Structure 1
């Protein structure tokens, strides 16, 4: 009987109510535990995670520092044929349709409704802002010079893109939208270190070049000005050719060669030109294709290489 009196039996903990159980979990005065852990246990947990995240942050910072050592902020590591962009620039146009219709390339407005064509003129204003006020950004303008075909920029300098006297393609004239004879601006995409190979010899002109552009090149009496990336715009189909009417290129028929190559010098602005549609037929949809011409620009309508398509409709 003495042996049996020494036996101890396990007693289950007393049943507690929900509130009492929660209170005991938050702070157990019997074992000095807070949220199920003692002070020493919490201290070990905090020290472990401090060391763990400090080591993780240090490793990430070290890898980031190594990564930045491989980058050059002024020039890309992979250029021209070695890069994904390649050596065939695309051609872009402005104004673009609203973002709500991002896949559209239709410029559609009512010539006699100022509120209707206001969007398009404001879109051009936004596009030309950096060309009108190049001094807004820090240091921009300090290395900008006035260039021409006989005075290309020195190394490290960039050419200005003057757009003040491009009438009627100016903001003061509303880019001529109110007269149902709009101006569309074209811009060749930048590719680092790309240099165009000019069509500056009449004997080398391709067969598919428009005849009016061929005549323009052949009749040019200033050899230096032949170093140009030429531009042509025309209707895509016979009906479009009939409806598009006469076209002017302002200030010239292409992008001057002295703007190339692009080397990311501070203050650089891509050359642009305005295509002035003098008398497009109203009330019909006109499909227009513009192409940039150089020996190393290849045209691909599907991939939009070297050319751009848009539609024009004026009510």
Structure 2
């Protein structure tokens, strides 16, 4: 009993363990020991943080460059097979494009995004006029893409209200990619062909109109992109070349499955698919009365 009383109550023993006033130790260590532990961990974590920042610096300055991707050509995930996309994209969630063959609020989103697409080509700084040939400072100075080659689609806001919306097709950018034409003697351009996804859609879609366009030896008409705009090397103000397509004979008030293919390039499977629906004023009014 005396021994337990000498040791004091449990609370007193706990306080003494945390701080012993006789030895002036905190948690069993005096000030010198705690100072040494603090200095040790300070140096250890300083070296660890320094090592981490050093590895990040090596990675950013040696392994990764700002001017070009680390993996290019056949080493990149895209290989040498660029995809194709279309603009304007009315929604990021789907590829459905609905417009009306007359001025209406339905066309507002299309008009806004189509104009924004072409406005990117208004800035001609750091670009070269390649209409008369490739300049000597190419490809450091990329070729300027003239929107005048898009014909009637240079003013898409006028065409959509006629029921002939313009869709701009472009190849996705791949660093250093040069198109390998399948038959340079027949076609020296990158050809684009748009059609329906099945026999019914082909008949409903009708014959497309391309800007610019070229006639093939097979009797078909194609849109095309000139290879002179490649390669893409992350040049300042690089302008991706476009080809525009319209469907003047499209069947109204029907959703039509459409697809555009790249032709004339070796080992290329570029394709883009989307849906078109052009509503006519007469049928819309009839539906409203019903």
Which of 44, 58, 61 aligns to 2:53? It is 61
Which residue does 1:159 correspond to in 2?
143
Deviation of the 1:272 alpha carbon: 0.9
Q: Which residue of 1 aligns with 2:224?
A: 254
1:218 corresponding residue in structure 2: none
Quickly say closer, same or farther: Cα 1:50–1:176, change in 2 above 3 A.
farther
Match of 1:238 in 2: 199
Q: Cα distance 1:34–1:151, how it changes in 2: closer, same or farther (>3 A)?
A: farther
For 1:205, the equivalent position in structure 2 comes to: none
TM-score by length of 1: 0.71
Q: Over residues 24-80 of structure 1, what are the superposed CA-to-partner deviations in whole Å (9 max), with x where a residue is unaligned?
A: 89x979587899987656645543443233212211122123222133332334322
Kept in 2: contact 1:111–1:117 (CA 8 A): no
Taking the aligned partners of 1:129 and 1:168, their CA distance within structure 2 comes to 16
Aligned residue for 2:97?
A: 107
Q: Could you say if the C-alpha distance between residues 28 and 74 of structure 1 is closer, same or farther in structure 2, counting changes exceeding 3 Å?
A: same
Among candidates 67, 71, 74, match of residue 74 of structure 1: 67
Residue 277 of structure 2: SS of its match in structure 1? Answer: strand
User: Deviations 1:286-313 (Å, cap 9, x if unpaired)?
Assistant: 11111112231433xxxxxx11111101
Q: Take 1:152 and 1:10, find their aligned partners in 2: how far apart are those partners?
A: 100
Decide whether the 8 Å contact of 1:89 with 1:297 is kept in 2.
no
**2:242 paired residue number:** 272
TM-score normalized with structure 2 length: 0.76
* Count of residues paired in the alignment: 262
Structure 1 CA distance, aligned partners of 2:238 and 2:260?
24
Larger mean CA deviation between 90-99 and 35-44 belongs to: 35-44
Q: Are 1:282 and 2:252 counterparts?
A: yes
Deviations 1:86-135 (A, max 9, x none): 11111111122423xx2x2211233446221211222223333422235x
Q: What is the distance in 1 between the residues matched to 2:100 and 2:26?
A: 74
In the alignment, does 2:130 pair up with 1:177? no
Q: Aligned-pair RMSD on alpha carbons?
A: 3.3
Unaligned runs of at least 5 residues, structure 1: 135-140, 203-225, 300-305
CA distance in 2, matches of 1:233, 1:153: 33
Name the structure 2 match of 1:207: none
What residue is the counterpart of 1:13 in the other structure?
A: 9
